[in-house]
Chains A and B, each alone.
Chain A
Amino acid sequence: MNFNVILFFGFVAILLLALGWTLRRPQRHKRLQTEADSLEGGGQRHIAYLPQIRQAFAKSDYEFLSKNVPPDVLRRVRRERRHVAVAYLAALREDFQSLLRMARVIAVLSPELDAIHEFERLRLTAKFAWQYEMIRWRLLAGVAPVPQLNGLSEFEWKLE
């Protein structure tokens, strides 16, 4: 097989995979009106739990525990902190999805769209999805040590 054949076969394979993907996942036929209700939500519900998350990831807590509790308890703490981190990630994603849904409802019901805004949102969605999966897998695989996530405690929600 020469390069040309591989090129066209590859292209068709990508098209068929994309076709299968779009047809396989059932569309969520939510009524637009129901979706429009989310306009009121604002899409930042989980960010309200940031203080608790900060507490869960406080470096001082972890240092105190590492000096005062047996290793098996410390391991358990690490595991639970990891679960908290994964749950927090999922919550962030939920916030993101909620905002996306809101943006889509507005786009669907608009007489005109600005391509720049739409592409920007697509770019942000792709970036978020990529980073989310990377961090999640690193956490689940134990590659990202939980104390490293102390970056969380320094978060500032700029839009508040």
Chain B
Amino acid sequence: MIPGIAQFQQIIWAVNAIMSVMLLVLLAVRKNYRAYPAFTFYIAMNLTQAALLYAVYRRWGYSSLASWGVAWGSQAAMICARAVAVAELCKHSLSRYPGIWALAKRILLLCSGLVLLYSGVAARHQWKLAVPSADRGLELSIATVIVVLFLFVHYYDVRTERTDRWLATGFCLYSCFGVLNDTFADRYLHGYAELWSLLGMLAFFGSLFLWSWALRKPLTVTVTKENLLPLHVYQSLTPEINLRLRGLNEQLCRLWKPEVTRH
């Protein structure tokens, strides 16, 4: 047992570690690590972080400055690993459609950049809050990227793997929760740290459950590229379709403002 951490919190921590091990075993047994190497690395890294923090807390205590540094440093590495895992999911979902994937990549990068900027501007500019603010910015950025990815998939009506959708949902919910948690921590820093940590662990438990459910079966790897049309088909038909869509819009516009048509 680690002094300074509530017993219930330590139990949840242990449960999360066990769940992570089970998920890694599941990834290995079902051979899904081949489809999701970055996701597997993220889970393995999470397990390593848990072991490292356990050792650090035992050695220097929960409230020491050294523990604080190691905890936030490893958290930064974890978020980077999560961002890579999310990028892998995006690629997994859309790379079969090269045109859409090329456009989506640019838009997703732009969105994440804008959200990071927004988080930076909206954060309270105090040194002691710099790390939680950066954490929140990255979490918000990850959640936004996943939602925009889903919007893309929905808009173009492309087929995606069920596993991809569940994994992405797990990431998104965890990141959204992280943003709310960090925002509360930002506001009520004193006296909220313990609850912040506990809620974070519970949210991670929920995501681990979702991911384990998604990966319970081996993936049938069907990353075959669609038979693509020649580029000139898009270049010639799309402007024409847009013109027709504009024509239909004009019809509606005349209904909306009938006086325009009266001479």
Which A positions have Cβ atoms within 8 angstroms of B? 2, 4-5, 7-9, 11-12, 15-16, 18-19, 22-23, 25, 27-30, 32, 43-44, 89, 92, 95-96, 99-104, 106-115, 117-118, 120-122, 124-125, 127-128, 131-132, 134-135, 148-152, 154-155, 157-159
Known: A23-B150, A111-B99, A113-B100. 20 other contacts (CB 8 A): A4-B122, A5-B184, A5-B187, A12-B179, A22-B150, A27-B153, A101-B157, A103-B245, A104-B157, A108-B157, A109-B228, A110-B99, A111-B229, A113-B102, A113-B103, A124-B242, A128-B245, A135-B252, A157-B251, A159-B247
* Bound Cα distance from A19 to B103, whole angstroms: 20
| A contact residues around B235 at 8 Å (CB) | 114
Q: Is the CB of A111 within 8 A of B228?
A: yes
Please name the 7 residue pairs, one residue from A and one from B, whose CB atoms are nearest each other, closest first.
Answer: A151-B258, A110-B234, A22-B150, A110-B99, A113-B99, A131-B252, A8-B183
* Bound Cα distance from A12 to B151, whole angstroms: 16
Q: Interface size (B, Cβ < 8 Å)?
A: 68
Q: Is the CB of A16 within 8 A of B176?
A: yes
| B contact residues around A18 at 8 Å (CB) | 147, 150-151
Q: Is the CB of B242 within 8 A of A9?
A: no
Q: Is the CB of A155 within 8 A of B159?
A: no
Instruction: Output the least CB separation between B151 and chain A (Å).
Output: 6
| B contact residues around A117 at 8 Å (CB) | 238-239, 242
A-side binding surface: helix, strand, loop or mixed? helix
A23, A96, A111, A128: the one contacting B98 at CB < 8 Å is A111
Which B positions have Cβ atoms within 8 angstroms of A? 97-100, 102-103, 106, 122-124, 136, 140, 143-144, 146-147, 150-151, 153-160, 165, 169, 172-173, 176, 179-180, 183-184, 186-187, 226-229, 231, 233-235, 237-239, 241-256, 258, 260-262
Q: Is the CB of A115 within 8 A of B244?
A: no
| B contact residues around A109 at 8 Å (CB) | 97, 99, 226-229
Q: Is the CB of A124 within 8 A of B183?
A: no
Q: Is the CB of B176 within 8 A of A15?
A: yes
Closest A-chain residue to B103, C-beta based? Answer: A113
Instruction: Output the least CB separation between B246 and chain A (Å).
Output: 6
Provided the pairs A103-B241, A107-B100, A112-B98 are in contact, do residues A131 and B249 lie with their beta carbons within 8 angstroms? yes
A22, A96, A106: the one contacting B147 at CB < 8 Å is A22
Q: Is the CB of A158 within 8 A of B150?
A: no
Closest A-chain residue to B188, C-beta based? Answer: A5
Q: Is the CB of A110 within 8 A of B228?
A: yes
| B contact residues around A11 at 8 Å (CB) | 140, 179
Provided the pairs A19-B147, A22-B154, A23-B150 are in contact, do residues A92 and B183 lie with their beta carbons within 8 angstroms? no
17 residue pairs from A and B, CB less than 8 Å apart: A4-B124, A4-B183, A19-B150, A22-B147, A23-B169, A27-B153, A29-B159, A43-B244, A108-B156, A109-B226, A122-B155, A124-B246, A135-B252, A151-B258, A152-B255, A158-B250, A159-B247
Q: Is the CB of A107 within 8 A of B99?
A: yes
Q: Is the CB of B249 within 8 A of A124?
A: yes
* Bound Cα distance from A113 to B150, whole angstroms: 19
| A contact residues around B106 at 8 Å (CB) | 115
Provided the pairs A19-B169, A106-B238 are in contact, do residues A27 and B154 lie with their beta carbons within 8 angstroms? yes
Closest B-chain residue to A120, C-beta based? Answer: B242
Instruction: Output the least CB separation between B40 and chain A (Å).
Output: 24
* Bound Cα distance from A8 to B97, whole angstroms: 34
* Bound Cα distance from A121 to B249, whole angstroms: 11
B136, B143, B150, B254: the one contacting A151 at CB < 8 Å is B254
Provided the pairs A92-B248, A102-B241, A159-B244 are in contact, do residues A8 and B169 lie with their beta carbons within 8 angstroms? no
Q: Is the CB of A106 within 8 A of B234?
A: yes
Provided the pairs A110-B99, A149-B255, A151-B261 are in contact, do residues A128 and B248 lie with their beta carbons within 8 angstroms? yes
